[in-house]
Structure 1
Amino acid sequence: MISDSLIALSTLILAMLFLIGYDALWLLFVVSAVRALGTGVQTPAVGAFLPQLVPGDKLTKANATYGSLQSLVMLASPMLSGALMTMAPIETIFFIDVVTAAIAVSILLLFLKAPVHAKALDKQEISYFDDMRKGFAYIKNHDYVKTFFLFVAIFMILAAPVAFLTPLQVTRSFGNDVWRLTAIEITFSIGMMAGGVMMASWGGFKNRVYTMVLANLATGVCTFALGIIPVFWLYLVVMGMIGIAMPVFNTPSTVLLQEKVEENYLGRVFGVFGMITSSMMPLGMLVFGPIADVIEIEWLLIGTGVLLVVQSLIMLGNKVLIKAGSPLPQAQAEAEE
């Protein structure tokens, strides 16, 4: 609630400044940074919070449903915002953002009664840096977390071209029509929603790492295909398949941490997980972006697609990850019942 309120407050200040005529561009960057700070607090908090509300055997469905809702919002919000901008000034849209945030926080405050987790019940001095140090020490001392984070980081770097360079590829290879760029974004978002629904109903393999390997392999094959497909409608189909693969990878990876990391360290581990997932793709683009002006994007997609397939095979042979992905005895017994 605090992080959402911080985001809303920064937007409210921005809206008021715009209303009085102070609309300097640098303000948008400052507010974006504040909003990112709030999101950086909220995202790991949500990941650590869901196990307090949801039974262990329902975590996959809960996370998949949550992911589908996020995908729906990502698809609908730009459309709605674009439509609103044809009818109202930007300040009005800022105020709408503040009001919707206030409604969301009010719902949490009034209707959600959350159990207090064990660490919060202990009397302790709050030390940000000490907590952060303990979080990194926990990751260092648990091989499966270290290995898991390494594979996720590599996946994010290798997925950077398909995530960021495909609009440029479409412009160069198929034409710069607006509808083409819109089509790949919509297709990808619809794919993500479909993947979330599929995970909510299927749940994935009993060993969560096998599900991640399947998604990693599918992403690699589809990324390779995007580098060789000459027909745009086939390109859209493959882009939709990559969208489906994203929740199939993200959902079991989130549930794996929720199940295996000790409750007292869950928020800190998710904080590091958030840093990795949000930073690796931009870092990848620092490499692949300049290369895309020298080497054809198709070749970058083919190369990263092959590497993703290789990573899938390495994951499949990693004993630490496979052991970590095995279901907990209690969860397995509940599933069999």
Structure 2
Amino acid sequence: MTPTHWRRNVALFLTGQTVSLLGSMIAQYAVMWWVTLQTRSGLAVALYAVAAFLPQGIVSIFGGVLADRMNRRTLVITADAAIAAATLALALLMANGVTDLWIVLLAVAVRSLGAGVQTPAVQAMIPQIAPADQLMRVNGLFQTIQSAMALLAPAAAGAIFAAYGLAPVFFLDVITAVLGIGLLALVTVPTLQRTTETRPTYRQDLTEGMRYVRAHPVVRWLLIVYAIIFLLTVAPSFVTPLMVARTFGSQAWMLAALEIAFSLGMMLGGILMSTVLTKRSPIGLILVAVYGFGLTTVALGLSGNLWVFYAFMFVFGLLVPPFSTPFMTLIQKTVEPAMHGRMFSYVGIVMALATPVGMAVFGPLADVVSVQALLITAGLTAIVVIAIATRLPSGRATLTAAREPEAQPAEPAGPVLG
């Protein structure tokens, strides 16, 4: 049951996430640039991707179960506080001159561990605080905010990193996390009744979640497509800063402009998703986006001019909201509320494992062949694989089911406000 004052809850939730997200993104960009500029090594960039995503994938296995067993607001606050404490300790070390690569990667890995608990709970919280008929709009607004922060963060990261180094970036992340926790504490989030009853073991919960995925073709197909996109287009995108540094120049503004172009595209896409595209078919938007990702990845590899490269990076960003917003909305609408945490943990696992697996291949290869060749190959492969996936009998059945009128998810009986 959605609280009657849902607009206040959504406003507080989005504001808190915005503040926290800004600090996190600034730290993310600064660390990625530091690794790229300090090493100019595809292997080092691959290690960064592994540190950023693999811990999240491992912890997400348990994070989703926790999100279905605990009050999700409490879980997010606890995870944020743990990340802030660990980040503060690492920032103090770096401020005292400990700036080895392994320390930086350790900081990234610690943040990834926290994200494995936090992310499923955040995504599962949205359908608890927003009405079902407003989910696409709220998700689109959330995506727009994320895109706006992604636009602001590179400029802020470049200024802070260039002037003061990496340690102050982590101090800023701690401050924004504390502010985000304070705002989230004001949000009223229902605790599903299941969390107050006698519960099965964690292993039984995990097994139940896996059976749910196998039994629901829409969810299963969405996860497969998600894995393909992250493996063949998102993972290769991590070497685009390396292509800029090797091909066009290693000035900091070039890397910042690359991220700004991507973020501008994401922001425009988020605005479109929360306005004119709200009523469009979610599965149709996803298909347009996934084929667009493949084509744009090929175009990035073919770009011989820096500004053309930026233009295609803008297009890549533009396609992100039409993919991620309907994807999250379909999961939220088709999965029963008591399973949301586990389903979003599987989404996190797919993202967290597909990216480092892809980078384990693309990173070392970037030291052997050109980044351009990698992008072209990855993009063409993505197009072919998606085309096959949509034409298989299971794919056609899933697309048909997803286009049918959506049934409203069952409301949890007797929630307790916490």
* TM-score using structure 2 length: 0.70
Contact 1:210 1:316 in 2 (8 A): no
Q: Are the structure 2 counterparts of residues 3 and 83 from structure 1 closer, same or farther at C-alpha, using a change threshold of 3 Å?
A: same
Q: Deviations for 1:128-163, whole angstroms, at most 9, x for unmatched residues?
A: 333222212221222222222112111111104641
- Which residue of structure 1 aligns with residue 79 of structure 2? 3
Contact 2:88 2:174 in 1 (8 A): yes
**Counterparts of residues 93-112 of structure 1 (less than 5 Å):** 93-109=169-185, 111-112=186-187
Contact 2:292 2:319 in 1 (8 A): yes
1:274 aligns with 2:348: yes
Shift in Å, 1:205: 6.1
Q: Are the structure 2 counterparts of residues 6 and 54 from structure 1 closer, same or farther at C-alpha, using a change threshold of 3 Å?
A: same
- Which residue of structure 2 aligns with residue 325 of structure 1? 402
Contact 1:159 1:281 in 2 (8 A): no
> Out of 150, 171, 191, which is 1:116 matched to?
191
Letter in 1 for 2:310: L
Distance in 2 separating the partners of 1:8 and 1:129: 29
Gaps of 5+ in 1: 332-337
Distance in 1 separating the partners of 2:128 and 2:248: 48
Letter in 2 for 1:143: P
Q: Are the structure 2 counterparts of residues 125 and 202 from structure 1 closer, same or farther at C-alpha, using a change threshold of 3 Å?
A: same
Contact 1:167 1:181 in 2 (8 A): yes
Distance in 2 separating the partners of 1:245 and 1:272: 22
Aligned-residue CA RMSD (Å): 2.7
Aligned length: 328
1:302 aligns with 2:376: yes
Contact 2:154 2:259 in 1 (8 A): no
Q: Are the structure 2 counterparts of residues 90 and 281 from structure 1 closer, same or farther at C-alpha, using a change threshold of 3 Å?
A: closer
Q: Deviations for 1:214-255, whole angstroms, at most 9, x for unmatched residues?
A: 001111222222222333222211110011001111111111
Q: Are the structure 2 counterparts of residues 114 and 169 from structure 1 closer, same or farther at C-alpha, using a change threshold of 3 Å?
A: same
1:183 aligns with 2:257: yes
Shift in Å, 1:310: 2.8
> Out of 361, 369, 384, which is 1:287 matched to?
361
Contact 2:221 2:398 in 1 (8 A): yes
**Structure 1 counterpart SS, 2:302:** coil
Shift in Å, 1:69: 1.7
Shift in Å, 1:329: 4.3
- Which residue of structure 2 aligns with residue 259 of structure 1? 333
1:152 aligns with 2:226: yes
Distance in 1 separating the partners of 2:296 and 2:79: 37
More displaced stretch, 98-107 vs 210-219 = 98-107
Q: Deviations for 1:13-66, whole angstroms, at most 9, x for unmatched residues?
A: 3345567x4847455544433322211111111111101111222211211221
**Counterparts of residues 7-46 of structure 1 (less than 5 Å):** 7-15=83-91, 21=96, 23=98, 25=100, 28-46=104-122
> Out of 236, 243, 259, which is 2:317 matched to?
243
Q: Are the structure 2 counterparts of residues 208 and 89 from structure 1 closer, same or farther at C-alpha, using a change threshold of 3 Å?
A: closer
1:50 aligns with 2:126: yes
1:201 aligns with 2:275: yes
Shift in Å, 1:271: 0.3
- Which residue of structure 2 aligns with residue 127 of structure 1? 201
1:80 aligns with 2:156: yes
Q: Deviations for 1:278-303, whole angstroms, at most 9, x for unmatched residues?
A: 22122112122233344333233222
Shift in Å, 1:104: 1.5
Q: Are the structure 2 counterparts of residues 123 and 245 from structure 1 closer, same or farther at C-alpha, using a change threshold of 3 Å?
A: same
Contact 2:286 2:327 in 1 (8 A): yes
- Which residue of structure 1 aligns with residue 136 of structure 2? 60
Letter in 1 for 2:321: P
Q: Are the structure 2 counterparts of residues 328 and 48 from structure 1 closer, same or farther at C-alpha, using a change threshold of 3 Å?
A: farther
Q: Are the structure 2 counterparts of residues 102 and 288 from structure 1 closer, same or farther at C-alpha, using a change threshold of 3 Å?
A: closer
- Which residue of structure 2 aligns with residue 212 of structure 1? 286
Contact 1:4 1:101 in 2 (8 A): yes
Q: Are the structure 2 counterparts of residues 154 and 231 from structure 1 closer, same or farther at C-alpha, using a change threshold of 3 Å?
A: same
Q: Are the structure 2 counterparts of residues 117 and 319 from structure 1 closer, same or farther at C-alpha, using a change threshold of 3 Å?
A: same
Distance in 2 separating the partners of 1:209 and 1:290: 35
Distance in 2 separating the partners of 1:206 and 1:85: 41
Distance in 2 separating the partners of 1:278 and 1:15: 24
Shift in Å, 1:81: 4.2
Letter in 1 for 2:267: M
Contact 2:234 2:355 in 1 (8 A): yes
Shift in Å, 1:114: 1.6
Gaps of 5+ in 2: 1-76, 409-418
Contact 1:225 1:302 in 2 (8 A): yes
Contact 1:81 1:93 in 2 (8 A): yes
Shift in Å, 1:93: 4.8
